[in-house]
Chain A
Amino acid sequence: MNHAYGPVPRKEDARLLRGQGTFIDDIALPGMLHGAILRSPLAHARIVSVDVSAALAHPMVVAAFTGADLAERGMAWMPTVFGDVQAVLATDKVRFQGQEVAFVVATDRYAARDALELIAVDYEPLPPLIDALTALDPGAPVVREDLPGGNRVFDWSAGDKAATDAAFAAADVVVGCDMIYPRSHPAPLETCGAIAEYDTTGGRLTLHATSQAPHAHRTMYAAITGLPEHKIRVVSPDLGGGFGAKVPIYPGYLCAIAAAMVTGRPVKWVEDRSESLMSTTFARDYHMHGEIAATADGTILALRARVLADHGAFNAAAQPSKFPAGFFHIFTGSYQLRAAHCEVTGVFTNKAPGGVAYSCSFRITEAVYLVERLTDMLARELGMDPAELRMRNLLRPEQFPYTGPTGWEYDSGDYPRALRLALDMAGYDELRREQAERRARGEYMGIGLSFFTEGVGAGPRGQMDILGLAMTDGADLRVHPTGKAVLAVSVQTQGQGHETTFAQLVAHELGLSPDDVDVVHGDTDRTPFGLGTYGSRSTPVSGAAAVVAARRVRERARLVAAAMFEVAPDDLEWLDGKWRVRGDPDQAFGIAEIAKAAHSPLELPAGVEGHLDASAVYNPPNLTFPFGAYICVTDVDPGTGEVTVRRFIAVDDCGVRINPMIVEGQVHRGLADGIGIALMQAIVFDDTGNCLAGSFMDYLLPTSLECPSPELGETVTPSPHHPVGAKGIGESATVGSPAAVVNSVVDALAPFGVVHADMPLTPANVWRAIQGRPVRTDLAIS
């Protein structure tokens, strides 16, 4: 009986509803200065000179830094989360529009902004490399002369090429397609920022920062600044969304640190929206060629893919170090396949760095999009209904745990049940009838499916690390003498409700109310080490650690209770939230009474030192594999190309649901992401490298009017290896939804002969697809 699980109201809400959250820009420290970054207007240029003298002469400016200044402190360059380097302030060249060139510190933010105009930079423009498809051409501009590979970042592959080629050769039908997953940006509503405080006497650095991974950041700051790690504290306050944008370390943070060390005063730097869109981690930007092979009766045999990954100017993809293309090789999807093979080549271009962000589960967004688009294209080619084709090929429950052709071991799933539920909820057959009637009247509606399998909760320490830090996570649980508990975890919530859900996890294990459990997070001084929140890993990893710690507390409590009852520990059983004497359940003690006893003069048994507290570091044995079936219904106006999303049906299986209300909220968001990504969101560049999506006027986010009221369903297939069977949900809907939207629009346009159209499906792009003259959606129209 999961009495603490359920739609428990959130503890976070009390302060947030009153406008009493503490976000980074809410913090004002005595003597605090404000920093601003001067950024390059050019995508590729040599820096001839940087002159900050006029800025320093401004009466409200306290300091100004150039790349040369930081180089003297060994801080002009920093490591990226993937082991490359990135300039903090450019020294020799600028390599993307928006790159950091100088940092000025003033007594208020308006003066800091004014002072930027007083900095004179002399640039010598260089030809920019913008089109990733040309990056490996002979004569292409070289972005990284400091590396040996030209513009090639990596080549990587997975699967069995020979077996895949053989399967393709034996197939009756092969469908191939080029498809772009355009560059986008996670765009949390709160941008990134930091306040650095340096105590010169004690040599202690405190960094308040928008960080999804405070401990990993602390370790990196130690390496970059040379300060000892135990003298660094990273505190992440309330975060206004993250979605991966707040995983990397950014130059602005280092600039604030350097300025705090030099001026001896706290220095705040918070980026504005255009800085955020132009310089912080982008997402996606995969140019994919995919092929699907099948028999004539609709049995999918194999998949293969070749991908060109645009990594921008530095390789700052935030993913486990052994996986340069993330988990893309899960592109095998949810189907029974004989073989699969993929190759990914990463290239540098003159654009901002990043790539792994925006709820992608380490490139699973790209993988799912590819396989689900190909599946729909196969259905069209075969003249088969796309739901029927999927149902025929989905993995069956008895096949789990299932090892796929690229090595993933899916933990559990009943896929056909989820698809059937989605089809029932949608009234699928009725929708197809309606579609036929409308087509006869010259109206174009589309029905698009997406079935996805996610792999989240990275990950097993032997396989998964970031910069050599294994992806385990810790939990410390203290129980006070009056039976109230404090759980300290290393993950950092950005809206997912950890203060509530983690309290529920512990409360369930210990027979407490969630109100009795406080959750501490975000402060490296007060929490155990861990790799942070992204990749939907909080529930699978940190949540598991919390449960393990709670169970250790409970076992310790058993020993104390046995001493209290003067029985053997095995004479007790845990029932309905208490330790009870077997056969005499009214003889019972709850955690509060036992905690008091543990702190009392009671003679304690071996294994109990005087408290119930316990810790755990959880090394997950595998990823967890949430999955879902989505159906999107759209109406397309062929005269204008406008797309209206009429309905979105989403069946999700994330294993055991700790707080269904929070789970549904995560799905709602991901469906909105899918609409935005499929129809309007893209970071595009012109051929000189100008970023044309540097504000919310052009990087368009869906509003309340574009998102229909979602229709949610659930199945529950517990994860067999997670302590409570939960799998994680944070990114599932962002992963699964774009394909459903695109499949729907392409389905609507089928009478025009459209078999594929790239995102974003803006009115112009839809109209061009109908005309049979599609454009490359990643490049600006000229």
Chain B
Amino acid sequence: MQVPAQVEYEKATSVEQALALLARYAPGARVLAGGHSLIPMMKLRLVQPEVLVDINAITGLRYIEAAGAELRIGALARHADLLAAPVAGEHFTILHDAERVIADPVVRNWGTIGGSLCQADPSEDLSAAFAALKGSMIIHGPDGSREVSARAFHTGPYQTVVGPAEMLTEIRLPIRPGRLTGGSAYMKVARRAGDWPIGAAGAAVWLAGDVISDVGIGLTAVGATHFVAAEAEEFLRGRPADEPTLARAGEIAAEHCRPASDQRGPADYKRHLVQELTTRVLRTAVRRGREARGLAS
């Protein structure tokens, strides 16, 4: 029977209280949000925290709202919330594309955005999506709050910059106004619905006319540093959004990732997927951007 080892439990009703508890019990304390990343690990006894700090009773951390030039997502927003939020899909189709293929509908009811990000599984989909959108994370700690780029949030597999006495509270995604056309997309290949990705790619493209003025490409499960295809992004900026260019970007993304062989697939196949999926998401992002502005694709 796979059940967790013994653990202590505290319930926090405010961020301040949560931080105090984390500090008191560090480093053996873990934040418990939806629990759908943490509790499975605890059942397999891969992690054995001494104290769980349950933050589900903290009000004011579960929201998805546009605030000025940003989309703000509270860390306790459930995956189902993000999938159902019109404001998220309206600005960033990539978020709905990704949520649709994360886990399954029942798990999405309870797992939280913050929890998934902090678990920092290299196969976790939103990390690449937020990286593509060049978002940032708000982290609260004993000395107040700080903002960290989504592209610097992860420091390795299952590791983030969130310290043992800190808590992720919000994700911010910049909404770009003005004459730029933007479109985004996410595509994932898995062995079966609901499975972790073998490889996945997300792209957000902003066009000025026919030229790519800015782009973000996130890659999941293929060993891309900070989940980003930086070299492919560099290549695309300033170039026309035509098929050969997008195809070349896919090749560059594939050259620079470091997938590992495992039971989901061999490394050469994963590398191929990076090329294939990067090109496809770029193509779709570009098309969506043009459609948004009523231009022919």
* A698 proximal to B (CB < 8 A): yes
The answer to whether B1 and A764 have CB atoms under 8 Å apart is no
The answer to whether A700 and B261 have CB atoms under 8 Å apart is no
* B258 proximal to A (CB < 8 A): no
The answer to whether A692 and B263 have CB atoms under 8 Å apart is yes
- Contacts A705-B193, A763-B198; A109 near B266 (Cβ below 8 A): no
Distance in angstroms from A105 CB to nearest chain B CB is: 13
Chain B residues whose CB sits within 8 angstroms of the CB of A692 once the complex forms: 263
* B8 proximal to A (CB < 8 A): no
The answer to whether A110 and B191 have CB atoms under 8 Å apart is no
Chain B residues whose CB sits within 8 angstroms of the CB of A762 once the complex forms: 191, 265
* Residue from A36, A114, A775 within 8 A of B266 (CB atoms): A775
* A112 proximal to B (CB < 8 A): yes
* Residue from A273, A640, A703 within 8 A of B276 (CB atoms): A640
The answer to whether A639 and B276 have CB atoms under 8 Å apart is yes
- Using CB atoms, name the residue of chain A closest to B4: A110
* B237 proximal to A (CB < 8 A): no
The 8 A CB mask of A745-776 against B (1 = contact, 0 = none) is 00000000000000000111001100000010
The answer to whether B265 and A763 have CB atoms under 8 Å apart is yes
Q: How far is the CA of A702 from the CA of B192 in the complex (A)?
A: 7
- Using CB atoms, name the residue of chain A closest to B195: A700
The answer to whether B261 and A781 have CB atoms under 8 Å apart is yes
* Residue from B1, B263, B280 within 8 A of A781 (CB atoms): B263
* A201 proximal to B (CB < 8 A): no
* A90 proximal to B (CB < 8 A): no
* A711 proximal to B (CB < 8 A): no
The 8 A CB mask of B1-24 against A (1 = contact, 0 = none) is 111011000000000000000000
- Using CB atoms, name the residue of chain B closest to A704: B193
* Residue from A113, A706, A775, A780 within 8 A of B193 (CB atoms): A706
Distance in angstroms from A684 CB to nearest chain B CB is: 7
Q: How far is the CA of A587 from the CA of B263 in the complex (A)?
A: 73
Give chain B interface residues in 77-95, CB to chain A under 8 Å.
Answer: none
The answer to whether A703 and B269 have CB atoms under 8 Å apart is no
The answer to whether A768 and B269 have CB atoms under 8 Å apart is yes
B interface, size bucket: 20 to 34
Q: How far is the CA of A642 from the CA of B101 in the complex (A)?
A: 15
The 8 A CB mask of B176-195 against A (1 = contact, 0 = none) is 00000000000001111111
What is the size, in residues, of chain A's interface with B at 8 Å between Cβ atoms?
35
Chain A residues whose CB sits within 8 angstroms of the CB of B191 once the complex forms: 680, 700, 762-763
Chain B residues whose CB sits within 8 angstroms of the CB of A702 once the complex forms: 192
Q: How far is the CA of A780 from the CA of B263 in the complex (A)?
A: 6
Q: How far is the CA of A641 from the CA of B276 in the complex (A)?
A: 11
Chain A residues whose CB sits within 8 angstroms of the CB of B36 once the complex forms: none
Chain A residues whose CB sits within 8 angstroms of the CB of B261 once the complex forms: 781-782
Chain A residues whose CB sits within 8 angstroms of the CB of B6 once the complex forms: 114
Q: How far is the CA of A36 from the CA of B5 in the complex (A)?
A: 15
Distance in angstroms from A761 CB to nearest chain B CB is: 10
- Using CB atoms, name the residue of chain A closest to B192: A700
Q: How far is the CA of A447 from the CA of B1 in the complex (A)?
A: 44
* A272 proximal to B (CB < 8 A): yes
* A274 proximal to B (CB < 8 A): yes
Chain A residues whose CB sits within 8 angstroms of the CB of B265 once the complex forms: 762-764, 781
* B143 proximal to A (CB < 8 A): no
Chain A residues whose CB sits within 8 angstroms of the CB of B277 once the complex forms: 640
The 8 A CB mask of A695-727 against B (1 = contact, 0 = none) is 001101011011000000000000000000000
Distance in angstroms from B30 CB to nearest chain A CB is: 19
Distance in angstroms from B129 CB to nearest chain A CB is: 19
Chain B residues whose CB sits within 8 angstroms of the CB of A697 once the complex forms: 195-196
- Using CB atoms, name the residue of chain B closest to A698: B263
The answer to whether A764 and B192 have CB atoms under 8 Å apart is no
Q: How far is the CA of A642 from the CA of B5 in the complex (A)?
A: 39
- Contacts A703-B192, A763-B189; A768 near B263 (Cβ below 8 A): no
Chain A residues whose CB sits within 8 angstroms of the CB of B269 once the complex forms: 641, 763-764, 767-768
* B62 proximal to A (CB < 8 A): no
Q: How far is the CA of A645 from the CA of B34 in the complex (A)?
A: 34
Chain B residues whose CB sits within 8 angstroms of the CB of A767 once the complex forms: 269, 272
The 8 A CB mask of B85-127 against A (1 = contact, 0 = none) is 0000000000000000000100000000000000000000000
The answer to whether B192 and A706 have CB atoms under 8 Å apart is yes
Q: Which of A679, A700, A775 has the most CB of B within 10 A?
A: A700
The answer to whether B194 and A703 have CB atoms under 8 Å apart is yes
- Contacts A763-B198, A764-B198; A272 near B2 (Cβ below 8 A): yes
Chain B residues whose CB sits within 8 angstroms of the CB of A109 once the complex forms: 1, 3
The 8 A CB mask of B243-273 against A (1 = contact, 0 = none) is 0000000000000000001111110010011
The answer to whether A781 and B3 have CB atoms under 8 Å apart is no
The 8 A CB mask of A633-665 against B (1 = contact, 0 = none) is 000000111100000000000000000000000
Q: How far is the CA of A780 from the CA of B6 in the complex (A)?
A: 35
Chain A residues whose CB sits within 8 angstroms of the CB of B195 once the complex forms: 697, 700
Chain B residues whose CB sits within 8 angstroms of the CB of A706 once the complex forms: 192-193
Chain A residues whose CB sits within 8 angstroms of the CB of B196 once the complex forms: 697
Q: How far is the CA of A640 from the CA of B88 in the complex (A)?
A: 28
Q: How far is the CA of A742 from the CA of B115 in the complex (A)?
A: 40
Distance in angstroms from A749 CB to nearest chain B CB is: 15
Chain B residues whose CB sits within 8 angstroms of the CB of A36 once the complex forms: 1
The answer to whether B3 and A110 have CB atoms under 8 Å apart is yes
- Using CB atoms, name the residue of chain B closest to A638: B276
Q: How far is the CA of A110 from the CA of B194 in the complex (A)?
A: 29
Chain B residues whose CB sits within 8 angstroms of the CB of A639 once the complex forms: 276, 280
- Using CB atoms, name the residue of chain B closest to A701: B192
Q: How far is the CA of A693 from the CA of B195 in the complex (A)?
A: 14
Q: How far is the CA of A34 from the CA of B1 in the complex (A)?
A: 10
Q: How far is the CA of A703 from the CA of B107 in the complex (A)?
A: 15
Chain B residues whose CB sits within 8 angstroms of the CB of A782 once the complex forms: 261
Distance in angstroms from A91 CB to nearest chain B CB is: 25
Q: Which of A110, A705, A763 has the most CB of B within 10 A?
A: A763
- Using CB atoms, name the residue of chain A closest to B5: A114
Chain A residues whose CB sits within 8 angstroms of the CB of B104 once the complex forms: 703
Q: How far is the CA of A705 from the CA of B190 in the complex (A)?
A: 13
Q: How far is the CA of A245 from the CA of B192 in the complex (A)?
A: 24
* Residue from B262, B264, B266 within 8 A of A768 (CB atoms): B266
Chain B residues whose CB sits within 8 angstroms of the CB of A763 once the complex forms: 189-191, 198, 265, 269
Q: How far is the CA of A684 from the CA of B265 in the complex (A)?
A: 13
* Residue from B198, B263, B266 within 8 A of A684 (CB atoms): B263
Chain A residues whose CB sits within 8 angstroms of the CB of B276 once the complex forms: 639-640
Chain A residues whose CB sits within 8 angstroms of the CB of B198 once the complex forms: 763-764
The answer to whether A680 and B1 have CB atoms under 8 Å apart is no
Q: Which of A639, A768, A775 has the most CB of B within 10 A?
A: A639
Distance in angstroms from A643 CB to nearest chain B CB is: 10
Distance in angstroms from B204 CB to nearest chain A CB is: 21
Q: How far is the CA of A674 from the CA of B104 in the complex (A)?
A: 23
Q: How far is the CA of A763 from the CA of B192 in the complex (A)?
A: 9
Q: How far is the CA of A692 from the CA of B264 in the complex (A)?
A: 11
Q: How far is the CA of A361 from the CA of B19 in the complex (A)?
A: 60
- Contacts A36-B1, A113-B3; A781 near B266 (Cβ below 8 A): yes
Give chain A interface residues in 373-399, CB to chain B under 8 Å.
Answer: none
Chain A residues whose CB sits within 8 angstroms of the CB of B280 once the complex forms: 639
Distance in angstroms from B275 CB to nearest chain A CB is: 9
Distance in angstroms from B265 CB to nearest chain A CB is: 3
Q: Which of A679, A693, A705, A781 has the most CB of B within 10 A?
A: A781
Chain B residues within CB distance 8 Å of chain A: 1-3, 5-6, 104, 189-196, 198, 261-266, 269, 272-273, 276-277, 280
18 new A-B contacts, CB < 8 A, other than A110-B3, A640-B277, A781-B262, are A109-B3, A113-B1, A114-B6, A273-B2, A274-B2, A639-B276, A640-B276, A693-B263, A697-B195, A762-B191, A762-B265, A763-B191, A763-B269, A764-B264, A764-B269, A767-B272, A781-B261, A781-B266
Q: List 13 A-B contacts (CB under 8 A).
A: A110-B3, A113-B2, A639-B280, A640-B277, A642-B189, A679-B192, A700-B192, A703-B192, A703-B193, A775-B266, A781-B261, A781-B262, A781-B263
Chain A residues within CB distance 8 Å of chain B: 36, 109-110, 112-114, 270, 272-274, 639-642, 679-680, 684, 692-693, 697-698, 700, 702-703, 705-706, 762-764, 767-768, 775, 780-782
